Amino acid sequence: MKRTLSISQIISLLICSIVALFVLLPLFMVVLGSLRTTGELVSAPLSWPRQLHWENYTSILSGDNNFWSYLSNSVIVLVESLALLLAVSCPAAFVLARMVFPGREVVFNTYLLGLLFPAAVALLPLYIVLRNMGLLDSLGGVVLPQTAFFLPTTILILRNFFRAVPNDLEEAASIDGASKIRFFWSILLPLSRPALAVVIMMSTVASWNNFTLPLVILSTPTNMTIPVGALQFQGEYSANWAAMLAFLTLAMIPAIIVYLMAERQIVAGLTAGALKG
Amino acid sequence: MQTAHQDSTWATASQASRTQQAPINKRLRTGTRWLFIVLCLLPSMILFLVFVLLPVIQAAYYSLYNWNGLGPLDNFQGLKNYASIFQDPVFIGAIIHNLVIVALSLLVQVPLALVLAILVQNVPGKRFFRLVYFLPYVLSEVVTGLIWSFIYDPNIGLISDLTKLFNPSAVPPAFLADTRTVLIAIFIVMIWKYFGFHFVLYVAGLQNIPAELFEAARIDGANSWEVTRDITLPLLGSTIRLSAFLAILGSLQYFDLIYVMTSGGPLFSSDTMATYLYHKGFQNFQLGYGSAVGVTIFIICFVFAIFYQRWVMRRDLAGAAE
């Protein structure tokens, strides 16, 4: 960089860097701590670890502390929620966006009502509903309600996008003999890839991090997802901070990898949800 | 000649039959059309009604009873639960904590994000900063809460290490165990986790301001403070109002981090309305009372949202016309 920076740029850069340090330092301390023993954490906290203790990781990855159950449960919940969400919201958004029928606005506004409810309001009755359905302590008990809670934003975003597709396209398709379903499947959905990416990213992050609902629904450790599992792990290993830090590092890795790979879509997805809400 | 004549006869015949069949066809077509519409809407509607709308309605219903979630629902209380909520000092404390978090978010978090978004514009490595600032937002609340429980831990955490570094004889502070500091300590974690989100909103808002405006101002001799005050801030108005709206609504409903780090303690000093609901509903099994708390949270958020959108965001929602 040959370009010289002005004083104000240097100050700006300094402030931005300090804030970046504030963000990264805790994460760095966690990763560093995960490579020590708990004894070292207490006695020589700020020194560089003399020897890297990978056994914190190997004991989690090979031990009987349910890490793999938590991970696979989180993946199952994520995949099932996304599949269900797309399967039910795409057709609904299509009908609400591109067909005229009496009662359409009523249906649409009913979904929008969902944006107003904080999840906490419904939590207790939801627990009773799931108990009556026999879905307590099962992954289905997480998948179904969380998908239902993703519906309003998803339908809103997809409907707005579907509406923006020009009518000429649909007319051309129908002149060529394509049915509504054909138009939806072969033209509209492929065109809507950006909107689908936004919806998928939003729901992926929300599902992966969802805590309140799984906390209430899941009680057997082998049924837990990563966030609830992390608390469970903390309860079991409260005296062993080094193991806890290794667990946290392992829990962060998938999220960070996905974030680095799809940063643009994730940022767009999470902010679009807020803007449309 | 003959074929043409035949053709036209055929045409008339088929036209006649088509006119006759039209009403049936049309009825059939509207029938399938409706069937198609219903089939498309039904799955999502059922899911939404059963798991979102029905529980919310039930919450309002349960809130009128004294119920432990088991036995029959027969101990009707009217609005007594609501009256007791507002007589419980713990709940009043929880509301105050929510309001403190609202105030801190508006005074610290939102301005911080705004200032950083403006500063980052003329700095090399803009993309890197965005990448870093937004990172905590994608981490789960539980992981975040546990990371910071470690950072704040008086025996092994970064804070205590730094204290000992500067003053080896000092007793390391336990910010999360002290009723006076716990809320601030949690709020710092909330900044860490959420300011990046607001930052990204502002960066997006800044991108929507035409570059010519800045150039024109510079040519007219405005310095960077004048540009910020007279162009950037006014044109970011709608983003600022949205960011504040989301910060307030989020602060009013806050649960996850607090549950993980302190569970509302010590001595209810970090309780929020949502952690209060959790303790009453799921730990004491007061389902009627807990539902009343849920409805109260909803009403507070709803009234706030309506007023805010009517008075503060009116112009933004009305569209570009101003």
Average pLDDT of the segment spanning B219-242: 87
CATH number, residue B218 = 1.10.3720.10
Query: Would you call B130 an interface residue with chain A, using a CB distance cutoff of 8 Å?
Result: yes
Q: Check whether A276 has a pLDDT greater than 60.
A: no
Domain presence at residue B259 = yes
Most confident range, picked from A76-80, B204-208, B300-304: A76-80
Domain presence at residue B10 = no
Domain presence at residue B47 = no
Per mean pLDDT, which range of A182-186, B169-173, B205-209 is the poorest? Answer: B169-173
Contact B242 A8 (CB under 8 A): no
Domain presence at residue B36 = no
Torsions phi, psi for A136 (to 5 deg): -65, 150
List where CATH 1.10.3720.10 sits in chain A.
Answer: 65-276
In tens, the pLDDT along B149-160 reads 999 988 888 888
C-alpha radius of gyration, chain B, whole number: 30
**What residues of A are in contact with residue B47 (Cβ under 8 Å)?**
84, 88, 144, 147-148, 151
Name the B residues in 182-221 with CB < 8 Å from any A CB: 192, 196-197, 200-201, 204
B224 vs A22, higher pLDDT: A22
Closest partner residue to A125 among B62, B134, B196, by Cβ? B62
pLDDT at residue B318, as a whole number: 57
A203 vs B165, higher pLDDT: A203
**What residues of A are in contact with residue B31 (Cβ under 8 Å)?**
none
Whether residue B145 contacts residue B261, with contact meaning beta carbons closer than 8 Å, is answered with yes
Average pLDDT of the segment spanning A228-257: 90
ipTM of the shown complex: 0.91
pLDDT at residue B24, as a whole number: 60
Q: What is the 3-state secondary structure (H, E, C) of A201-270?
A: HHHHHHHHHCCHHHHHHCCCHHHCCHHHHHHHHHHHCCCCHHHHHHHHHHHHHHHHHHHHHCHHHHHHHH
Residue A112 pLDDT grade (very low, low, confident, very high; cuts 50, 70, 90): confident
pLDDT at residue B25, as a whole number: 62
Q: How many domains are contained in chain B?
A: 1
pTM of the prediction?
0.88
CATH number of A65-276: 1.10.3720.10
pLDDT at residue B8, as a whole number: 43
What burial letters (b/e) apply to A16-52, b meaning 16+ CB within 10 Å? Answer: beebbeebeebbebbebbbbbbbebbeeebeeeeeee
Q: Check whether A14 has a pLDDT greater than 90.
A: yes
Q: Check whether B255 has a pLDDT greater than 60.
A: yes
Owning domain of residue B255: 89-317
B98 vs A33, higher pLDDT: B98
Average pLDDT of the segment spanning A243-260: 92
